[in-house]
Amino acid sequence: MRVVIAPDSFKECLGAGEVAAAIASGVVKAAPDAVIDICPMADGGEGTVAAIVAATAGRFITADVFDPLGRQIRAKFGLLGEGPVAALPGEVGLAAGLAQQGDSACECDGCAAVVEMAAASGLELTPPGMRDPLWTTTFGTGQLITAALDAGARSIILGVGGSATVDGGAGCLQALGVVFIDGAGNPCRCGMGGGALCDVASIDVSGMDKRVRPGLITVAADVTNPLTGPQGAARVYGPQKGATPEAVEQLERGLEHFRKLVADLLGIDMNAISGAGAAGGLGGGIAAFTGAKISAGLGVIAKAVNLRQRISCADLVITGEGKLDASSAFGKTAVGVARMAGELGVSAVCIPGQVGAGAPRELFAAVLPLVGDGVTPAQAIESAPAVLELRARQAIAKYIKG
């Protein structure tokens, strides 16, 4: 029996690799002869780099970058490998273990890289009392992209979840060589935030990194919001990032001003780009200036880790995420994995943290949540690896029983 284990992370509990390892432990105990392929998943948000590096037996590289507040930090990006690591019966293809043995300073020869915006420009990097998207910047994300290019990457997946910013990607573009000029003819400060967008009078792209070309970057996003308007980056996501009502309106004006400047300069209306509002407008800025494509995060990750082929070789797929409910049908990992398995005629089991209203149980051969069957929510969090292992053993028993 061949089993693919492809879960997402359990937010604020376990990373995708940890979830997968716990499930694998249960599978091995229930079916010692099983061939197990561990394939941690993500949807473009936090954990994307770790999941892809683990699933492809890739490696991490660390770079010096600026965080959202302009403080220097060390942040990781990933270079994809050629994984998964082959597994023999009774063994586990632990690409994750290999990937995390240490950072690599080696360059790649035309390989693909994965960059996680949250690693350099994430909300979690900003103390609650200092969260203000008028000032926070995506400059560090641009530095990570540059570092990936320096490492030899010929294509880059950019996961954009968990950002602290609403700067339209201006800070990121500055790091890539774009110069924003104010009304006095002076360059805007390095690492500008959303509050400085209204000060921009013109944009100079002549110094942009020549390695940045159309098709280089694929933005993995799980939202389709426009840049501006009632459903735009400022009004929908600004408050989550610390913006006051007054700041939200200032950010909206800045993004609208930026949109008009870009339309005049490049002939591109960022509001016509689906997902332009992702990550505080970084989606729109990157797409307009670099020719990047914005795609559904799960689809991008699935392609990067060769998920379809891996599932096609399997007898059973086990997936999972923190909560399976009605929202899971909209780009979430468990449902996406189950649908792919269904297309290939492979049974799928879901082990979520818990099940909510409207959960699409019909897509799975079985749904075995951590919470329930005598396990309380507190116990599920405290003993998540052990409960995951138990549920995996139950999943294998159900599969064998038919």
Which CATH number is 345's domain given?
3.40.50.10350
Lowest mean pLDDT among 153-157, 331-335, 387-391: 331-335
Minimum mean pLDDT range among 190-194, 240-244, 276-280, 329-333: 329-333
User: How many domains, in total, are found in the chain?
Assistant: 2
Q: Are residues 367 and 277 part of one domain?
A: no
Residue type, 298: L
19 and 131 assigned to the same domain: no
Residue 392 has pLDDT above 80, yes or no: yes
The whole-number pLDDT of residue 111 equals 87
Residues 246 and 324 in one domain: no
The closest of 333, 233, 235 to 286, measured between CA atoms, is: 233
Tokens at 240, concatenated: 């989550």
Question: Among 245, 279, 298, which residue terminates a domain?
Answer: 298
Residue 108 is predicted with a pLDDT of 58
Please report whether residue 94 resides in a domain: no
Max mean pLDDT range (217-226, 249-258, 331-340): 249-258
What is the pLDDT at residue 148?
98
> Are 117 and 216 members of one domain?
yes
Task: Indicate whether 66 and 142 sit together in one domain.
Answer: yes
In a domain, 317, yes or no: yes
Model confidence band, residue 92 (pLDDT cutoffs 50, 70, 90): very low
CA separation for the pair 346, 366 (Å, rounded): 13
Q: What's phi and psi for 355, nearest 5 deg?
A: -115, 135
Q: What is the CATH number of the domain that holds 155?
A: 3.90.1510.10
Q: Is 239 domain-assigned?
A: yes
Query: pLDDT tens, 206-230?
Result: 999 999 999 999 999 988 999 999 9
More confident residue, 165 or 56: 165
pLDDT number for residue 158: 98
pLDDT score at 127: 95
Q: Does 69 lie in the same domain as 114?
A: yes
Whether residues 283 and 355 share a domain: the answer is: no
Q: Is the peptide bond before 84 cis (omega within 30 degrees of 0)?
A: yes
Which of 249, 275, 298 marks a domain boundary? 298
Would 166 be classed as within a structural domain? yes
Q: Which residues are CB-contacts of 195 (< 8 A; sequence separation ≥ 6)? A: 133, 134, 135, 247, 250, 251, 254
Query: What's the CA gap between 326 and 86, in Å, rounded?
Result: 36
* Structural domain for 291, as ranges: 48-88+106-298
pLDDT digits (tens, 9 = 90+) for 6-24: 999 998 789 999 999 999 9
pLDDT at 47: 85
Strands 323-324 and 354-355: parallel
> Over 50: is that where the pLDDT of 160 sits?
yes
Quick one: 36 and 52 in the same domain? no
pLDDT digits (tens, 9 = 90+) for 58-79: 999 999 999 999 999 999 999 9
Domain shared by 170 and 136, yes or no = yes
Instruction: Please check whether residue 125 lies inside any domain of the structure.
Output: yes
User: Domain for residue 286, yes or no?
Assistant: yes
Q: What percent of the chain has pLDDT over 90?
A: 85
Same domain, 258 and 152: yes
Is residue 99 assigned to a domain? Answer: no
pLDDT at position 88 is 36
Angle made by CA atoms 212, 215, 218, in degrees to the nearest 5: 100
Q: Does the structure show a pLDDT above 70 at 235?
A: yes
Model confidence at 91: pLDDT above 50:
no
Domain boundary among 298, 323, 357: 298
pLDDT of res. 44: 85
Mean of the per-residue pLDDT values of the chain: 92
Q: Is position 93 within any domain?
A: no
Amino acid at 302: A
118: pLDDT confidence band, cut at 50, 70 and 90? very high
Please give the average per-residue pLDDT across 335-346, as a whole number: 98
Per-residue pLDDT of 287-309, as tens digits, reads: 999 999 999 999 999 998 999 99
Same domain, 130 and 274: yes
What's at 134, amino acid-wise?
Answer: L
Question: What is the C-alpha separation between 244 and 392, in angstroms, rounded?
Answer: 45
Assess whether 167 and 33 both reside in one domain: no
Among the residue ranges 53-57, 314-318, 342-346, 359-363, the one predicted with the least confidence is: 53-57
